Amino acid sequence: MNSEPQLMVLHGLGATCDQFHGMFDAYFSDKQIAMNMPGHGDRPRENGRASFERFAALALDALDQRKVESVTLAGISMGAGIAIKMALKRPDLVNGLILLRPAWMDKTHPKNLKIIHEIGVWLSQGPEQDAIDRLNKDPFFFNLTRTNPAAAKSILGAINRPNSRNNAPVLTQIIEDTPLASLGDLKAIAAKTLVVATPNDPLHPLDIARAWASEIPSATLCELPSKYVAPAAFQSGLNTALDTFLRP
């Protein structure tokens, strides 16, 4: 049995575990467990419907197969939702949570992810170039290319990623789901928790992170510079927050 605490990283919707590159190396360099969820990276989507419940079950199974007895979960956006599901299911296993830029509350179809849902629909209706053309005509996206080009590039990545057409249903299905039946479910989280929020992030509003932090009893809210606008300052601030959070 592996009883030493470990870190599992859980990526965001449309991303892969590569988005954690270097983020936690100073703290968990030899102990990170990573997996791409179905419909992400080179892992094909499953025949069944994608959901937070299913992705959490897959991650928990991966930990059980490795005989992990204690784990800290770090999740970005969708990954934060998966981490919450895991912590609610297995409080005996999850000793810590690092929830970066959560994007869901307790309602399906969050407005902040509407553009990603539309991309999923467009990709299911035609080739990638058609989806790009429709995206470029979208007023929200057009404005974002001027005000926050890094965020716009991230959204475009939902189309440009490998196998985007085949995996388009995962985008729509996850956005049609929610990790929480009720926001009050977060009160049952016993694990030590760090919630990370950033401004200038249309997909991950500050209000969601603040709401999560206010409901989780042991949560600390850390508001950092925008990952899109000031990535170096974001990482520096995250390092400082982790220094405190991971201190014995």
Q: Are residues 156 and 209 in the same domain?
A: no
Q: Are residues 198 and 98 in the same domain?
A: yes
Closest CA to 155 of 196, 114, 195, 125: 114
In a domain, 1, yes or no: no
Q: Are residues 128 and 15 in the same domain?
A: no
In a domain, 231, yes or no: yes
Residue 125 binned pLDDT confidence (cut-offs 50, 70, 90): very high
Q: What is the mean pLDDT of residues 25-51?
A: 89
What lies within 8 Å, CB to CB, of 210 at 6+ separation is 197, 221
pLDDT number for residue 21: 86
Distance CA 121, CA 88 (A): 31
Distance CA 99, CA 215 (A): 13
Q: What is the mean pLDDT of residues 136-147?
A: 97
What rounded mean pLDDT belongs to the chain?
A: 94
Q: What is the mean pLDDT of residues 60-85?
A: 96
Cβ(100)–Cβ(76) under 8 Å? yes
In a domain, 199, yes or no: yes
Q: Are residues 121 and 208 in the same domain?
A: no
In a domain, 208, yes or no: yes
Q: Over 70: is that where the pLDDT of 2 sits?
A: no
Tens digits of per-residue pLDDT, 50-67?
999 999 999 999 999 999
Q: Are residues 101 and 116 in the same domain?
A: no
Total domains in the fold of the chain: 2
Q: Are residues 21 and 97 in the same domain?
A: yes
Domain-ending residue, one of 154, 171, 188: 171
Domain-ending residue, one of 155, 171, 187: 171
Q: Write out the residue range of the structural domain in which residue 140 sits.
A: 111-171
Contacts of the segment 230-234: beta carbons below 8 A, 24+ positions apart:
231/150, 234/198
pLDDT number for residue 1: 41
pLDDT number for residue 246: 86
Q: Over 70: is that where the pLDDT of 239 sits?
A: yes
Residue 221 binned pLDDT confidence (cut-offs 50, 70, 90): very high
Tens digits of per-residue pLDDT, 154-169?
999 999 999 999 999 9
Q: Over 80: is that where the pLDDT of 150 sits?
A: yes
Q: Are residues 104 and 188 in the same domain?
A: yes
In a domain, 45, yes or no: yes
Q: Are residues 20 and 122 in the same domain?
A: no
In a domain, 119, yes or no: yes
pLDDT number for residue 22: 83
pLDDT number for residue 5: 59
Tens digits of per-residue pLDDT, 225-234?
999 999 999 9
pLDDT number for residue 102: 98
Q: What is the mean pLDDT of residues 184-197?
A: 97
In a domain, 82, yes or no: yes
Q: Are residues 100 and 149 in the same domain?
A: no
Which residue bears the tokens 């399906």?
A: 108
Phi-psi region of 173 (alpha: psi -120 to 50; beta: other; left: phi over 0): alpha
pLDDT number for residue 26: 78
Which tokens belong to 111?
Answer: 């407005």
pLDDT number for residue 78: 98
Find the CATH number of the domain harbouring 27: 3.40.50.1820
